Amino acid sequence: MSLAFVIYVNIIIAMKNRIYIKDLKEQVGKEVIIAGWVDVRRDQGKMVFFDMRDMTGKVQCVVLPSHAEATEKAKEIRPEWVLIITGMVNKRPAKNVKTGVLNGEVELEVTGIEILSKAIDLPFELNELVNLDTYLDNFPYKLRSDRTKDIFKMQSSILEAFRSSLRRQGFMEFMSPGIVGGDAEGGAAVFSVNYFNDYKAYLATSPQFYKQIMVGAFERSCTIAKVFRAEKSATTRHLSEITQMDLKWVLLKMKKK
C-alpha cells in the first residue's frame, strides 16, 4: 500500500468527521476536525495564533508549545494555505471574549495540522484596498476578501428574493436564449457572432420577446437573463453585459380608486 494512498484515505476520513466553523460553539470541551483556509497568522512568544475560515465563518486557533509537532507546522503556515485542523474547542478567557462576533466566545486549541495545499505570499493584505488594475489582476484572491464576498452575498440574496417572491405569486420562471437571430428591441447596438461560420447571430439584448411568448401559456412569466448591448460607456455602470431580472404579467386586475 503506497504512502499517497494512505494519506488520501486519512484525508477522506477526516473530512467525513469535519465540523463547520459556525457550529464550533456547540462543541465546547470536545475534540473536533475543521478544514479551510488560513486567514491571518501571528506569533506571540512561544505560541502561534492564526484564524481559520471556511464557507460558514472564522475561528481563532492557538497552538501551544506542549503540542510540539503542531507547533513546528504552525510556524511554517502562511495565509491562504489550506489545512485540516484537529483541536479542542475551549471557552475564551472572559477578558478575551468578543461579543457579537461569530465564535467570539470560543477558540480552538490545535493538536494536529494537516497541510492540504500551500499558497504563494500575496503582494498585499487580503482586505487591503488596492487600485482597480491590481484588483482585477488578482481577482481570484481578492474574491476572498470580506468586502468582495459581501458583494456576491448581496447579489445572491437579491436574486433569491426576486425568485421566491414571484414564485409565491404563481410566476413561471424560464431560461431565455443568449444567442438570437435578431435584435428583439430593434435599434439597440448588438454584438454579432459567427454562427457555425455560415450564419450571423447576435447576443440577446433583451428577453422581452420570450416573455411575451411565455405569458400566452402561463399568464405570468419571469426570468433572470444575461443581456448584452454594444454601447460604449465612460461611466461606472456599463450596459455591455448585465444580469436582468424581468417579468411579465397579463390579465392583471387593477383596483379602482
- 34-76 residue pLDDT tens: 999 999 998 887 899 999 999 999 999 999 999 999 999 999 9
Summarize pLDDT for 205-244 with one digit per residue, the tens: 889 889 999 999 999 999 999 998 888 776 666 778 889 9
Q: In this prediction, what percent of the chain has a pLDDT beyond 90?
A: 55
Among 88-92, 186-190, 238-242, which stretch is predicted with the lowest mean pLDDT? 186-190
- What's the pLDDT band for 93 if we cut at 50, 70, 90? confident
| Predicted pLDDT at 190 | 87
Phi, psi (rounded to 5 degrees) for 228: -130, 135
Confidence check: pLDDT of 105 > 80: yes
| Predicted pLDDT at 110 | 96
Please tell me the distance from the alpha carbon of residue 106 to that of residue 93, in angstroms, as a whole number.
Answer: 9
**19 or 184: whose pLDDT is higher?**
19
What b/e readout covers 166-191, taking b as 16+ CB neighbours within 10 angstroms? beeeebeebebeeebeebbeeebebe
Mean pLDDT of 7-34: 82
- What's the pLDDT band for 6 if we cut at 50, 70, 90? very low
Q: What is the pTM of this model?
A: 0.77
Please tell me the distance from the alpha carbon of residue 227 to that of residue 50, in angstroms, as a whole number.
Answer: 44
Q: What is the DSSP string of 177-223?
A: -SEESS-SSSSS---EEEETTTEEEEE-S-SHHHHHHHHHHHSEEEE
DSSP 81: -
Q: What angle do CA 57, 62, 66 make, to 5 degrees?
A: 150
| Predicted pLDDT at 33 | 95
Query: Is the Cβ–Cβ distance between 205 and 183 less than 8 Å?
Result: yes
Confidence check: pLDDT of 4 > 80: no
**7 or 216: whose pLDDT is higher?**
216
Which amino acid is it at 108? L
| Predicted pLDDT at 45 | 79
| Predicted pLDDT at 5 | 46
Please tell me the distance from the alpha carbon of residue 164 to that of residue 240, in angstroms, as a whole number.
Answer: 28
Q: Which residue has the cell 502562511?
A: 78
Summarize pLDDT for 116-168 with one digit per residue, the tens: 999 888 888 888 888 888 888 888 888 988 889 999 999 999 999 999 999 99
